[in-house]
Chain A
Amino acid sequence: MDSQARQHLTHLMSQLADGDRAAFDGVYSALWPAVSAFCAKMLPSADAEDTAQMALLKVFEQASSFDRDKDVLAWALAIATWEVRTMRQRHARSKAIPSDDIEAEFSGKNPEGLLLDREIVEAAQSAIGMLSDVDQATLLATFSGESSEPTKGATVRKRRQRAIYRLKEAWRSIYGD
């Protein structure tokens, strides 16, 4: 899209934001091919159209609050980028082994299961290794009971909660969501 077309599109979107419904068709006709093509480049074809449709609907949902100083194409593609990211995250989560399968792997102790055990343990050790000595001791006391300090009480509970929270943050920083 050349700069003149983009300026015209921004002008149309400003009118639509103001409530001029006559600008709707012009905005729709210009944005749908751009958003659709963008999603097609970023995702497999099976997901690209769904994601493009979600992105376009979000664009029109936010059209009334469009900032007239922005470039509408860049703004719409930013929304599409967010939808692409959401779709990719959804795929990444669905690729994780479901809990039923994990149990089958553990109980069967086949080579894949043993590899998974080792990987999970190493991942957990890496995340725990990022914590402070106090947090590590707290987590050890919580899950193994091997501590001379009491494991109950408000102070200990709070310390435990903080340690678990920091463990989750450390995990996320290494492995993502």
Chain B
Amino acid sequence: MAIDPVQLREKAKRVYELARLRHALALSIPVLLVGVMVALLVHEVSLPLIVGLLLYISSVVLLWWGRVPGRSVLPGVVYGLLPLTGSVIAKLHQHVCMGFDCFSTCMLYCMSGGVVAGLLVARLALRSDSPLAVFFSAASTALLTGAIGGSCVGVHGIVGMAIGIGIGAVPLAMRRRVQR
């Protein structure tokens, strides 16, 4: 049965939005698998899965929204794998011994992974027409990805990661200051 033109327009909009949402839900499934893999590796279920779920939700929202934030999800997840890997290694090998001295590796791996991720995100943002949008969406995705592993070493691991990513934003801030 034929429907009113105004109703048809509204229905077409709804169909478009629902299709985008379905697409985002499907495309974001791999980030859930990252949480599952980390949970299996470190033998801790709740924290990696909770953070993985948060990452999944933010990925769905950004991909559904689209445009610059949506395009920043994949690079953010990839860059976030660096601090995630560092923190999983820190969880599995909690200290390094040199001679008679032993050092905790948690903050070192989490912060250095965060700095590298932050620098990569800043590099991506500087090449974009909307550097702030790219930075915030990619950085938040990278932080959540890294936090899947960082949660296994405690809050200070995640804080270290966040500080590292923030340090990585310094080149972006400097460049924008120079451009003004």
A60 proximal to B (CB < 8 A): yes
Which residue from chain A places its CB closest to the CB of B3 in the assembled complex?
A: A53
On chain B, the number of residues with a Cβ less than 8 Å from chain A's Cβ atoms is 20
Whole-angstrom CA separation of A64 from B3 in the bound complex: 24
A-chain residues with CB within 8 Å of residue B5 when the two chains form the complex: 32
Which residue from chain B places its CB closest to the CB of A56 in the assembled complex?
A: B12
A169 proximal to B (CB < 8 A): no
**Contact flags B122-148 to A (C-beta < 8 A → 1, else 0):** 000000000000000000000000000
Interface 9-residue window, one of A16-24, A120-128, A130-138: A16-24
B92 proximal to A (CB < 8 A): no
A49 proximal to B (CB < 8 A): yes
Contact of A57 among B1, B11, B64, B66 (CB under 8 A): B11
Within 8 A of B (CB), among A50-91: 50, 53, 56-57, 60-65
Q: Report B's interface with A, CB cutoff 8 A.
A: 1-3, 5, 8-9, 11-13, 15-16, 18-20, 23, 64-67, 70
25 A-B contacts (beta carbon < 8 Å): A16-B16, A18-B66, A18-B67, A20-B66, A24-B16, A28-B9, A32-B5, A32-B8, A49-B2, A50-B1, A53-B2, A53-B3, A56-B12, A57-B12, A57-B15, A60-B12, A60-B13, A60-B15, A61-B15, A61-B19, A63-B19, A64-B16, A64-B19, A64-B20, A64-B23
